[in-house]
Amino acid sequence: MRVISKARLRGFWETPGVEESEGALRAWYSHVSHKSVIWHSWSEVKAEFGTASLVGNCVVFNIRGNKYRLVTRVLYPSQKIFILKCMTHVEYDQDKWKVDCGCYEPAPPNRLTSTKSLPITRRKRGD
């Protein structure tokens, strides 16, 4: 998986009071970004991370024994995982992150599944 972006993780673990999250977040990042990690569905994520949760269209990982929560969006076709928010469990319980992360908003249509019709081109006779 391609993790976008490690800077968001770093920004969190450099925050005063949560520096102890660094090791666990680095371990999560190293594991998920390894070239052998390829997920095609939520069930594959759940098989690998049994404590992960699906909240709307967000995947939430428990970090450091559930002391921290990492909210992500996984795009299986492109093998990308976007870091949306990292927070303490107390912040997670306040539920403000659901709006910030857009976990219950419909995903924007992608070019492969869009219902927008494509222009029809007609061939001339003799082509």
Q: What is the pLDDT of residues 14-36, one digit of tens each?
A: 999 999 999 999 999 999 999 89
Distance CA 119, CA 92 (A): 46
Check residue 21 and report its DSSP letter.
G
Burial annotation 42-54 (CB, 10 A radius, 16+ → b, else e): eeebeeebeebee
Binned at pLDDT 50, 70 and 90, residue 95 comes out as: confident
Binned at pLDDT 50, 70 and 90, residue 103 comes out as: confident
CATH code at position 44: 3.30.2310
Binned at pLDDT 50, 70 and 90, residue 126 comes out as: low
Residue 121 lies in a domain: no
The average pLDDT across 67-95 equals 93
Q: Given CA atoms 101, 70, 23, 43 in this order, what sign does their dihedral have? A: negative
Owning domain of residue 26:
2-101
Residue 36 lies in a domain: yes
Residue 115 lies in a domain: no
Residue 52 lies in a domain: yes
Distance CA 99, CA 42 (A): 21
Residue 112 lies in a domain: no
Residue 117 lies in a domain: no
Number of domains in the chain: 1
Residue 110 in this model has a pLDDT that exceeds 80 = no
